[in-house]
Amino acid sequence: MMGEIPFSIPAKFAAGLAEGNLMRFGTIIKDVGSGRIVAHVQETGLLQNLVGNVVGFPFSPISAVSSLGTNMQLAVVTKMLASLQILQIANLGLSLTGIGVSMVGFQMMSKRFDGIQSQMSSLAKNMEYQFFELKEREFRLHQSYVNSLLTDAGTALLYSGSNSQTEWLRVSSGLGLEASFYQREVEHLLTLQQFDENVFRDLVQLFSICSTARIKCLLLANELPAAKKESENIAKQYNLTFDHISPLCLAKQTMGREEGASQSYDQRLRVKLPASKKLVSDIRDAQDSALCKPLLIECLIEKGISGREFLKQLDAETSEPIVCLETQK
């Protein structure tokens, strides 16, 4: 299917994973006996085209994606579900930071960014949180800036010579600032008495899109050591932001000051806990994924694979939604 880059399909590892000789952690498949990394799991452009527009996509269970079958190519959906099953991926939380490095096109990233942002605005209007009333204008400013950066990054593909590289580095820097903004907003949200899970998810996704696009720009500019360093920083930021959250705290914050509740505090807490547990589990998956990303880029450096070529091949893939970059070929 692909050129010189040693990609293979997940089915190749099915037996090893089923027998326990191989195991998957985050986006890495490793040999249990030797501890050696065997492959890096990668999503292709096909997967992103398939599920990129699904509302709440990274937080959806796999079963939710299967319902897309009526609107999408059934064969591709089936293939994707089979791959996820082989890789023992129970939910799509891993996709929060992209499986591996997200190969989603900048245009789609921008579209998704807009979708999440409008979803947030409607939530703000419905709930009239003071936090969002004050922030809404500021959010719109950031939204337009991120959109323009993503458009510029896409256009840079057409630039000649070193101009494209210069542009990607500029965009990468801007996206870094935007990622910081959304990270701070996530942190702020976690300190509020009235925690809203939907808003939290949206903000986390916006943070994730900016971070992922930043890495993608560095890879396109073939600045692999910088991309590796930056992905390490991003993983560290994820840990700083999310390590301290717990299902119990989130459940209590979600309850906030619910008025007129007919149930006791204990009962309400029990009702809220399952959703909080799921949310925290998804976030932990995203942390794992972010922690694996520097290892992928390290592999690209070791194998002398061009970042741009790597992304180009994944974006161009039309038959496989998920592939594996083998480390030993």
Partner 1 sequence: MFWSKKKKNNDIVETNKEIKTSIIPPPDKVNALRLRRTVQDWKDKHTVVIEMHLRRELICLMTDIDHELEEISMADTFFNLKKVNSDVIQPLFESWVSRESAHLIKDAQKELTLIHSLELEAQSSNPLNDINTQSSHHHLLDVGSAAAMGLGGLATIPVLGTLSITSTGGLFGFFAVSTISLPILGAGILAVGSLVAISGYKMSGVKTRAIKRYRDNLNQVIIKIVLPNINESETNRAAPQKKPPPPSLSEILQSRIQASSDKIIGELDL
Using CB under 8 A as the binding rule, whether residue 33 contacts partner 1 is answered as: yes
Q: How far is the CB of 280 from partner 1 (least distance, A)?
A: 6
- Starting at the earlier edge strand, list the strands of the sheet with 22-25: 7-8, 322-326, 37-43, 28-31, 22-25
Rounded CA separation 50/69 (Å): 10
Only one of the segments 102-110, 135-143, 150-158, 291-299 lies at the binding site for partner 1 (rule: CB under 8 A); that segment is 291-299
The one among 12, 284, 308, 312 contacting partner 1 by CB under 8 A: 284
The one among 280, 314, 322, 324 contacting partner 1 by CB under 8 A: 280
Rounded CA separation 58/233 (Å): 22
CB within 8 A of 290, min separation 6: which ones? Answer: 97, 211, 231, 234, 235, 238
The one among 17, 190, 273, 301 contacting partner 1 by CB under 8 A: 273
Using CB under 8 A as the binding rule, whether residue 91 contacts partner 1 is answered as: no
The one among 4, 128, 259, 266 contacting partner 1 by CB under 8 A: 266
Neighbours of 175 (CB within 10 A): 25
Task: Lay out the site mask for partner 1 across 234-253 (x = CB under 8 A, - = otherwise).
Answer: -----x---xx-xxxx--x-
Q: How far is the CB of 69 from partner 1 (least distance, A)?
A: 32
Instruction: Specify the amino acid at residue 47.
Output: L
Rounded CA separation 298/229 (Å): 10
Q: What is the dihedral of CA 185, 190, 191, 195, to 10 degrees?
A: 110
Only one of the segments 29-37, 55-63, 118-126, 157-165 lies at the binding site for partner 1 (rule: CB under 8 A); that segment is 29-37
Using CB under 8 A as the binding rule, whether residue 28 contacts partner 1 is answered as: yes
Give 182's Cβ-side CA count (13 Å radius). Answer: 31
Q: How far is the CB of 154 from partner 1 (least distance, A)?
A: 33
Residues in contact with partner 1 by the rule CB under 8 A: 25-26, 28, 30, 32-33, 35, 37, 193, 239, 243-244, 246-249, 252, 257, 265-266, 269-270, 273, 277, 280-281, 284, 287-288, 291-292, 295
